[in-house]
Amino acid sequence: MTAPAPLWKWVGGKRALLPELRRVVPAEFGRYFDPFVGGGAMFFDLAAQGRLEGGAVLADAAPAVVQAYRGIRDDPEEVIRQLRDLWPLKLAATMKRDEVVAGLFESLRAFLADAATHPSPRVAAALIAHQQLGFNGLWRVNQAGAPNVAAGKSANGAPLEVKVDADLIRACSVALDGVPVVEQATARAQLGLFASSRSTLFNKVEAGDLVYFDPPYLGDFDGYTPEGFGFDDHLRLRSIALDLAARGVHVIVSNSGCPEAVAMWSVEPFHVTRIERPGTVNSDTSKRAPVGEILVHTTRRTG
């Protein structure tokens, strides 16, 4: 059987870090909360291990991501049908394949610019295709919230194409079954979900639950949304994480290994683990210097 796994490449996606993440996940936990879900590496990994019996809640600030997960959860067959409609390309005799791909990519960008207004299975298909045809699987938006990544290029003569993995889409749909996916447009609203003075979904986080915060990194790329994620947002995130930890919630946070982030998170009761991995945003592969990252966690690391 196909195991659930990320359906699209995502800047800052944590696939490569899963071995490290698994070592700081508590042996037992209640529900799982992932408010910066993006490509969902951790969520799908926990689902594949059958560790989400207690339930899960996902959120993201990018409307396209939220709509896409809802579409995959609610109607995977329609997502697959939509993707197969988009692909393979029907080439008119007079057109070059690259021109057709560029045209399709352009229309996907325009469609995803107001993702919240479109049926969710169509958004899911468009996002999956956009991430495969765009440059380096990057997701970045302009001030109006519209994606503004350039089309990718064929590599080594291999043409760009959209691969439709129907079994993977179905496996992800099973993992998402019954999982609320919440959209919050700004960092303030996103973090407000956890603020104790307000009665929201996230105020239901209880002792023993697990929250994984994977925000845009401090001092790094934060162009997923027009608002970005600034220093004050990081400070606010830290105070929420401290509050949750004091309430007996298991907390894991990812961030950059820059001195400011290390200093910010080197506070009781958190453990800070440093990790190295190649940077992924730099488009020039020859310049991919190792980028330090940190994992901040309330549970002692195993292994």
Ligand X SMILES: C[S@@+](CC[C@H](N)C(=O)[O-])C[C@H]1O[C@@H](n2cnc3c(N)ncnc32)[C@H](O)[C@@H]1O
> Interface with ligand X by CB under 6 A: which residues?
10, 12-14, 36, 38-41, 60-62, 65, 186-187, 190, 214-216, 224-225, 227, 229
Shortest spacing between CB 273 and ligand X, in angstroms = 17
- Comparing CB distances to ligand X, the nearer of 104 and 255 is 255
Shortest spacing between CB 215 and ligand X, in angstroms = 6
- Comparing CB distances to ligand X, the nearer of 30 and 192 is 192
DSSP-based three-state secondary structure for 278: strand
- Comparing CB distances to ligand X, the nearer of 60 and 209 is 60
Shortest spacing between CB 31 and ligand X, in angstroms = 17
Residue 12 region by backbone torsions, left for phi larger than 0, else alpha for psi between -120 and 50, else beta: left
Residue whose C-beta lies closest to ligand X = 12
Whether residue 180 has a cis bond before it, omega within 30° of 0: no
- Comparing CB distances to ligand X, the nearer of 221 and 262 is 221
Q: What angle do CA 245, 246, 249 make, to 5 degrees?
A: 40
Distance of alpha carbon 104 from alpha carbon 277, whole angstroms: 34
- Comparing CB distances to ligand X, the nearer of 38 and 134 is 38
Tell me the helices (H) and strands (E) count for the chain, helix number first: 10, 7
Shortest spacing between CB 100 and ligand X, in angstroms = 29
Shortest spacing between CB 223 and ligand X, in angstroms = 9
Residues in the chain: 303
Shortest spacing between CB 15 and ligand X, in angstroms = 7
- Comparing CB distances to ligand X, the nearer of 11 and 79 is 11
